Structure 1
């Protein structure tokens, strides 16, 4: 993430506001704030498609030490005692930190400005993530888990991140949630990933965020919508683990605030361009909605929409500039559609 200390002038096609309406002109970014937007072409530092940077609403960065697991059922991959947890126990700390750094480096170069990490490993796990994050300038929301024998997550965590309620005794989950609430932290849970039997149980804890809901039925989604709980979907991950795909269109029709995540790094690279392309082509066929899910919606879910999510004059913004003259993007006529369905990390000129 490139820090903007002084003034940068960007020109080209600007995707403005919450509707991402294309505007041909220039933008002056002064100390990270959009100081001016004007029509016409002027001498600029960068030229291309100027748009909000991306938000990864759900990731497990600790899994960066394993990039090529075998195809296994979900429980054997990530369940208690599964392959992922065995690998993490065997991997030296320095390698885990290095793996996170490599993933964070890839994310910043590929347009991601903010993320929510479900952090395992208690206090030491949080230490490793903060060590890896140093110098990247990203907005990181850490959903931690308590050390064994404790119900309290590290004070640096934005919230508590719980795997399925079926993985833990109910009384323990309630104590962890109660402690998190008493400290003003958010509560996020995986739910409805391999089965729908944990969705109602998760909702009974009044969560701030649910992840997956691939197995959710109409009645489940109605309960989520009525509770006003946001959902982060991870379709490429769900495809790999064979649990099905989320009913994203139905979620949106019901008014659920939906974000997008790449989930376990061992299953998929943290590449939101690939995630957007898949979501648009396989599930939504609505490029504007997909880009909103991956920018503005994600920023709102992570409480970061004051500095990410939309470009407006006077607003502090995380901005991405896309090369519309690259071999991949040459011939673009609809910049938003091409950005969602065709652009790749190699097309990112800068993230400011």
Structure 2
């Protein structure tokens, strides 16, 4: 067992609470949180605040080797089925792919992420590549596989944590039937899909199916969450809410490709749980601080009212709930994944609000202590 004592953001509302002792058992699970002034294995300075480890709810970490090769390209040109990314993936060697995965994992950890959900390309082969690399890194990878010409939905689902489907053009009626059976047999299996990422995607959906993509996916009771929803309409968000389908938004990636900022305020209006992801590493680094600040600044620019606390919850509490894992909260029974941020650092000194400080001013250098499953992976005060 290990114990940490300090100020902390506790529970599902990230309530700031002073001088708490958190105990984590040998399995890496939080077993006690109490305001008891007793000796702890790690007594953190009073300027630190303990927060849940960050969760990247949507990433494609295998395309890091394409950094800065797609700027100025359209979404379709960069990451479409016949675009730069998939052309390069089909011809790149195993060492290049492994190097790309390792670079992404190292960035995730250094920036304070303790969990991520990857939409994995290349079927079972892609899943195996990532799973093998994860054995060497202190981070939780939730792998959402994708079917290929060689691997069916059923085969892929047996080798990972769920399915991350490209879009409505990548699935036919037989596929929906298969997904329905898989979900019936395994209700906890995660299924996500990209929707309404661009106007072109919506136009193609209308041309091919006679309706917009969100209308299609809400007719099939197999999806747990959608990714993007940049161009979703009021009535479509209402449908998602009625179907209890969550939304993961990737605002940096969307604006990188010249797309619309997601309607976060409307998403909240319909009580839809939302989280954030960084999406393709080729378009932006997996940096939670940049992601939070970018989201808040652009929400203001788009006249959307989103609070710093809600944005912080989106990459902790909400992400854990969307991904159906006991992560993202400092709470008994949850994984002992946590960070400690120094509120007296140069970046944060004099700030009067902890949530605004973390989301708008902090960066990776302000993380002074980091744990994954109760194991220390960063401690700046270590002698």
Question: Given the two structures, how large is their TM-score scaled by the length of structure 2?
Answer: 0.84
Change (3 A) 1:301 1:314: closer
User: Residue 124 of structure 2 contacts residue 159 of structure 2 at CA under 8 Å; is this kept in 1?
Assistant: no
Task: Give a deviation string over 1:24-77, Cα, whole Å, max 9, x none.
Answer: 213233334253432779774433111111111111011111111231111111
Q: What secondary structure does 1:339 align onto?
A: helix
Change (3 A) 1:255 1:169: closer
User: Residue 24 of structure 2 contacts residue 336 of structure 2 at CA under 8 Å; is this kept in 1?
Assistant: no
Give the structure 1 partner of residue 205 of structure 2.
Answer: none
CA distance in 1 between partners of 2:181 and 2:101 (Å):
28
Tell me by how many angstroms 1:350 deviates. Answer: 2.4
CA distance in 2 between partners of 1:142 and 1:165 (Å):
20
Tell me by how many angstroms 1:154 deviates. Answer: 4.8
Q: Greater shift after overlay, 67-76 or 148-157?
A: 148-157
Given candidates 3, 7, 10, the residue that maps to 1:8 is 3
Given candidates 290, 297, 318, the residue that maps to 2:318 is 297
- Name structure 1 gaps, 5 residues minimum: 1-5
Give the paired residue count. 343
Given candidates 136, 154, 158, the residue that maps to 1:155 is 158
The 5 Å alignment of 1:52-91 reads 52-69=52-69, 70-91=71-92
User: Residue 199 of structure 1 contacts residue 220 of structure 1 at CA under 8 Å; is this kept in 2?
Assistant: yes
Tell me by how many angstroms 1:18 deviates. Answer: 1.8
Give the structure 2 partner of residue 94 of structure 1.
Answer: 95
User: Residue 224 of structure 1 contacts residue 256 of structure 1 at CA under 8 Å; is this kept in 2?
Assistant: yes
Give the structure 1 partner of residue 232 of structure 2.
Answer: 216
Give the structure 1 partner of residue 309 of structure 2.
Answer: 288
User: Residue 78 of structure 2 contacts residue 85 of structure 2 at CA under 8 Å; is this kept in 1?
Assistant: yes
Q: What secondary structure does 1:108 align onto?
A: helix
CA distance in 2 between partners of 1:65 and 1:163 (Å):
20
Give the structure 2 partner of residue 37 of structure 1.
Answer: 34
Q: Greater shift after overlay, 133-142 or 175-184?
A: 175-184
The 5 Å alignment of 1:165-314 reads 165-166=168-169, 168=170, 170-171=172-173, 173-174=175-176, 177-178=179-180, 180-181=182-183, 184=186, 185-195=189-199, 196=202, 197-206=212-221, 207-283=223-299, 284-304=305-325, 306=326, 308-312=327-331
Change (3 A) 1:96 1:302: same
Give RMSD over aligned pairs.
Answer: 2.1
Task: Give a deviation string over 1:199-231, Cα, whole Å, max 9, x none.
Answer: 111222221111100010111111111111011
Change (3 A) 1:143 1:313: closer
